[in-house]
Amino acid sequence: MFKKTAFSISTLVLGAALLLARPASADTITLNLTNPVQTGAGGSTLSFDATVSAPGKNGGTIFLNGDDFTVPSPLTLNDDGFFFGFPLSLDPGDSFSGLLFTISLPPGISAGPYLGSFSILGGADGSAQDVLATVNFTVNATAGTSAVPEPGSLMLLGTGLAGLVVRVRRWGAVRG
């Protein structure tokens, strides 16, 4: 009879523990770009600032170990802001704001929208590479300035040079 009672009590305790235990959930972060839609001309560089936060309900420190991004050609993304400016980890309730990445627009880029994404990788330890958060961004490229002068500018330059030549010749004729 004692064995049967002990088994029943342990079964009851185990059942209660299973019912009361909340399901395990992975710790998370939130990532928000300050200005996710930016406009620039060819030859310019755009800076994307962000805020990353670890909710207070997280069970422990979350490590920010790397990044992954998608950026359309011919744009180039420089992620030094993330690697050299952002913290290596966030404790529950922590938040950080700063430069996340820059986008360079090459000279002669075609005008139009360019869509990309940026993800922070990490997790519960310094080697985890889970996707923690992803943000989307848009770069609106505008037509840059042309390196070729307009015909009216060339006409004005030519007229000025011709006037200068005439003035120098008259000055030489008067002196001579």
Q: What is the pTM of this model?
A: 0.69
Quote the CA–CA distance of 57 and 34 in Å, as a whole number.
Answer: 24
- Any idea of the CA torsion for 147, 151, 152, 157, to the nearest 10 degrees? 80
Backbone angles phi, psi at 152, to 5 degrees: -65, -35
Q: What angle do CA 19, 25, 31 make, to 5 degrees?
A: 150
pLDDT tens per residue, the chain (176 residues)?
445 555 555 555 545 544 444 434 468 999 999 999 999 999 999 999 999 999 999 999 999 999 999 999 999 999 999 999 999 999 999 999 999 999 999 999 999 999 999 999 999 999 999 999 999 999 999 986 555 556 666 666 777 777 777 676 776 666 66
Quote the CA–CA distance of 118 and 75 in Å, as a whole number.
Answer: 14
Q: Which pLDDT score is estimated for 20?
A: 47
Domain 23-142: assigned CATH number: 2.60.40.10
Half-sphere exposure of 80 (CA within 13 A, CB side): 5
Domain residue ranges in the chain:
23-142
Q: Which pLDDT score is estimated for 148?
A: 54
